[in-house]
Structures are given as C-alpha cells and as structure tokens.
C-alpha cells in the first residue's frame, strides 16, 4: 500500500504541488473491519496477520486523507499490534505525527521504518520531504538521492518534484531547475512540475522559458487557478508586456474576484514572493 506524502509547494504556496506530489492513497469506506470466527482463523497465521494489517492501514490511510488524524493514528496503532514490523505502518505514523507537529515521534517513526527496510522508496521519499520541512536540506537531498538510486525507482516525477521544491526552499535555484526540468522530461503533463518550474525560472530571470511552462497550464481552464494566473501575471509584469498583463488581470477579476491574487493584482504587488 502506498501512503500519502507531505509534499506542499514551497514556492508561491501553489496548491497544485500538493496534489501532484502526493502518492496515491487507497480509498476505503469508513467501516470497522469485519469480525472473523476465532474458531476458524488462526490469529498468528501469516496470511491472517497480513490481512489484519492491510485492513487497518487502508482505514488509516483513508482517515488521514480526510483529515481525521487522531482516528488514523488509532488505526495505525492497531496495524502495529497486528504486525510490529510493518514498514508501511511506521511510514504512515511518521506522516501523521508530522501533521500533528510532534516532530520527535515523526522522526522516530520514519527512522524505525528505515531500520526495518532501508530501501523502502516511499519512506525515503516522505522522510526526505519531512527533513526539508525541518530545514535540514542536506539530509533531505541525501534521502532523495537514495530513492533515485534504487533499482526499482519508478516514481521519478514525484521525487524529482519534491526534490526541486526543496532545493528552491534552500535557495539552490540552479539545482531546483535541473530537478524540475528532469521531472518535466519524464512527465510533461504533470501540472505541479510545470508550475514549480515556471516559478523557479521566473525567480532566475528566465522569463521567456517561465512563460512557456505557465502558459501550458493556463491554456487549460480546468488546470489553471488564481495562483497560476497570478504567477503568469508576475512574469508578464517583469517582461514589461502590458497587453498580456491586462488580459491576465481581466481573467483574475472575472474568474476569481475574491481571491488574494486578484487583490494583489489590483494593488500592483507584483514583486511579492
């Protein structure tokens, strides 16, 4: 089972990065696992242990995705009672404690998962993003590198995206551009990659290239939002293109009149980060 990552945009608070950088969450109904007849089931049978652990983790993951953090943690505890060596349970426990701002327990949970399986890609990815949020950038980059070195590494855009965002947080804009450009090469349809790459290029003064990526997003109405239009507006303002700037302002006023970005446009706060 794959658990959700903590990724959120470090550049411009772009919500799109949250969605695309998350790993897939198993969707389950909110129900109590069905009881089994103890006379017909051996609770120590490996298949039964695996079943109980899987059910608890599916419930925990669903509760976590819905913001029911305490209930999710209760389900994880039950999963660990069934299988004290579940890497997935410790990984998810780390995410839950991170959301609860219990850094000691989050760090211990991720470390415990990696003690059990030092090559678990999901844990390395999530722990790397957690370290980035703690501003431990060198540790984060080391963990992202471990993910990418795995023979079974299959989720390149996901890890390259959060690696690039983390590098931008650390002020390493050239490195961030390289990571995000690699992610785009692998998955050119990934909206979060395009938005964050446009942001990094904008900050580096590469306005024409930044325009290319953000236009790919804004040309699709179902992908664009107030934040992507605002980023495009800042790019056009920096490029001194008043006609394109006015068109973007009109879109913001029409589609997102109550947004923070529309207000910033009206107030001319184009240089804010």
Distance CA 85, CA 234 (A): 50
Q: With both helix axes pointing from N to C terminus, report the angle between 226-238 and 260-267 in degrees, rounded to the nearest 10.
A: 20
At 31 the pLDDT is: 41
Rounded alpha-carbon distances, angstroms, from residue 218 to 45, 161, 214, 221, 260: 54, 19, 6, 6, 18
* 18: pLDDT strictly greater than 50: no
Distance CA 56, CA 233 (A): 46
Q: What confidence tier does 115 reach under pLDDT thresholds 50, 70, 90?
A: very high
| CATH numbers and ranges of domains, the chain | 24-117 (1.25.40.10)
Distance CA 235, CA 252 (A): 15
| pLDDT tens digits along 139-192 | 999 999 999 999 878 778 899 999 999 999 999 999 999 999 999 999 999 999
**Do 199 and 11 contact (CB within 8 A), yes or no?**
yes
Q: Report the pLDDT averaged over residues 208-234.
A: 97
At 47 the pLDDT is: 85
Structural tokens at position 39: 């006379």
Q: What confidence tier does 32 reach under pLDDT thresholds 50, 70, 90?
A: very low
pTM: 0.83
At 64 the pLDDT is: 96
**Do 78 and 56 contact (CB within 8 A), yes or no?**
yes
Structural tokens at position 46: 């490996």
If you search the block for the tokens 């790459």, which residue do you land on? 197
Q: Report the pLDDT averaged over residues 219-231.
A: 96
- Average pLDDT of every residue of the chain: 86
At 62 the pLDDT is: 96
Rounded alpha-carbon distances, angstroms, from residue 94 to 4, 46, 78, 230: 11, 25, 15, 34
Q: What is the 3-state secondary structure (H, E, C) of 71-140?
A: HHHHHHHHHHHHCCCCHHHHHHHHHHHHHCCCHHHHHHHHHHHHHHCCCCHHHHHHHHHHHHHCCCHHHH
Q: Report the pLDDT averaged over residues 14-28.
A: 32
């Amino acid at each position: 089972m794959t658990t959700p990552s903590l990724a959120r945009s470090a550049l411009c608070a772009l919500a799109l990065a949250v969605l695309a950088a998350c790993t897939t969450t198993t969707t389950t109904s909110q129900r109590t696992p069905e009881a089994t007849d103890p006379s017909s089931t051996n609770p120590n049978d490996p298949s039964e242990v695996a079943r109980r652990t899987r059910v608890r983790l599916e419930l925990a993951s669903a509760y976590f995705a819905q913001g029911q953090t305490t209930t999710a943690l209760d389900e994880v505890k039950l999963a660990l009672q069934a299988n004290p060596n579940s890497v997935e349970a410790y990984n998810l426990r780390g995410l839950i404690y991170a959301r609860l701002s219990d850094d000691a327990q989050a760090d211990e949970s991720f470390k415990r998962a990696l003690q059990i399986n030092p090559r678990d890609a999901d844990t390395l990815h999530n722990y790397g993003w957690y370290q980035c949020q703690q501003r431990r950038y060198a540790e984060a980059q080391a963990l992202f590198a471990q993910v990418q070195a795995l023979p079974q590494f299959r989720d390149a855009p996901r890890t390259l995206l959060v690696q690039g965002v983390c590098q931008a947080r650390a002020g390493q804009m050239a490195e961030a551009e390289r990571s995000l450009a690699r992610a785009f090469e692998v998955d050119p349809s990934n909206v979060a990659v395009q938005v964050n790459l446009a942001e990094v290029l904008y900050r580096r003064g590469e306005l024409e290239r930044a325009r290319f990526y953000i236009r790919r997003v804004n040309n699709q109405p179902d992908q664009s939002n107030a934040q992507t239009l605002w980023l495009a507006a800042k790019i056009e303002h920096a490029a001194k293109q008043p006609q394109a700037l006015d068109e973007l302002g009109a879109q913001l006023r029409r589609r997102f009149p109550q947004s923070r970005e529309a207000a910033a446009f009206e107030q001319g706060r184009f240089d804010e980060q």
